[in-house]
Structure 1
Amino acid sequence: MLDSLPSPSTDLDALAREERGFTFAHFTCEHAWVIGNILRNALRTVDACAIIHISASNQTLFHSPSMPGMVPDNEISIQRKRSTVLRWGHSTWYMECKFGGDDRKFAEEYGLWEGQGGRKEYEIRGGGYPVYVKGVEGVVGAIVVAGLDGDIAHGVVVKAIEEYKELRDGYRSPMRGASMTKLK
């Protein structure tokens, strides 16, 4: 499955359109649970070790390894990617493409470089993706995968959101009279 993912675009305008194209009508723990499980099942199917983290800006909604084998650095990567998405309102793949994968250039552009260690708070490797909600200004959350190459992590997240959209399109929750997910 991972090998069959198309290479993501590196065009910043196309990536920005893609990100905004996945605007949710609303975003709840139910959305996070379904998307997180789509990601986890897809990664387990191909024996890919990764950590999946989905959050609103102020709370964790889903957090799980795809399978055993994660290292503490992946948890740090999750937090850095999440911080990048929430601060700049773009996917970490967008930011990686914008700076050609050059961490130092990225950090210097925003006054973040801290000597040898450099980027302590932010990361621009693909795998962090913004959650937008219709009628809400800015990013409301992030979907993050750590433990894979950046382009693959970005592709897996995009594919999971697309699959979620197909699964939920037109679904009506028994708790609501309105459609649960109109991703437009």
Structure 2
Amino acid sequence: MSDEKNLLESLLQQEDELQFSSFSHETAWQLGVALVEAAKQKKKGVTVDITRSGQQLFHYALPGTAPDNDEWIKRKNNIVNRFGHSSWYIGQSLKQAGKTLEEKYLISTEHFAPHGGAFPLIIKQVGVIGTITVSGLPQQEDHELVTSTIRTFLKRQP
């Protein structure tokens, strides 16, 4: 099996694994703070966003970020909301297909960014209800910061 195929399967496996039993405003706050702290520990300037059912529950911009990061977050979130998969997964599947977003789905990169950093907020036995997003690093690092922090956060939950 090719490395690209393995990557896509691994990304889908993350979506199966990194799911919440429930997700409240307090959960958003705690996870958002965990993402900010993880970025600070790595000395990375990122913007963090958590949105549930269209309502922004957490948003924080570390030093070194700019309004452009907010625009990237909107565009990455649009990918997750449209396709129900991480923005990194959609970007990698397009790469594997040798197609652009415009070619495959007839949608513009003006409003959609198939770049890593937006991960679906998934409730077990419910589905995707929002997004957990980071912007400011190379796209794979954005994705890894989100997924590694969610994984650690979920392990601490009762």
TM-superposed deviation, 1:11: 2.1
1:10 and 1:94 in contact (8 A); partners too: no
TM-score after normalising by structure 2: 0.89
- Corresponding residue for residue 68 of structure 1: 63
Distance 1:108 1:101 in 2: 13
Q: Which runs of 5+ in 1 are unaligned?
A: 1-8, 114-118, 171-184
> 1:120-160 CA distances to partner (integer Å, 9 max, x unpaired)?
11101100000111232x41010000111111011111111
Secondary structure of the structure 1 residue equivalent to 2:121: strand
> 1:31-73 CA distances to partner (integer Å, 9 max, x unpaired)?
11111111101111222111000010220110001x2221221
Counterparts of residues 91-130 of structure 1 (less than 5 Å): 91-100=86-95, 105-113=100-108, 119-130=109-120
Quick check: which one's helix share is greater?
2
Distance 2:6 2:76 in 1: 18
Distance 1:148 1:107 in 2: 24
Distance 1:102 1:124 in 2: 13
TM-superposed deviation, 1:10: 5.7
Distance 2:68 2:97 in 1: 19
Change (3 A) 1:103 1:32: farther
Query: Does structure 1 residue 14 correspond to structure 2 residue 3?
Result: no
Extract structure 1 runs of 4+ deviating beyond 2 A: 101-104
Query: Does structure 1 residue 81 correspond to structure 2 residue 76?
Result: yes
Match among 141, 144, 147 for residue 155 of structure 1: 144
Q: Which amino acid aligns with 2:116?
A: G
- Corresponding residue for residue 116 of structure 1: none
Q: Which has the larger radius of gyration?
A: 1
1:103 and 1:124 in contact (8 A); partners too: no
TM-superposed deviation, 1:75: 0.7
Q: Which runs of 5+ in 2 are unaligned?
A: none
Distance 2:32 2:42 in 1: 16
TM-score after normalising by structure 1: 0.77
Distance 1:103 1:76 in 2: 26
Identical counterparts, % of pairs: 32
Distance 2:96 2:115 in 1: 7
1:57 and 1:86 in contact (8 A); partners too: no
Please report the RMSD computed on the Cα atoms of aligned residues, expressed in angstroms.
2.0
Distance 2:96 2:13 in 1: 21
Secondary structure of the structure 2 residue equivalent to 1:100: helix
Secondary structure of the structure 1 residue equivalent to 2:115: coil
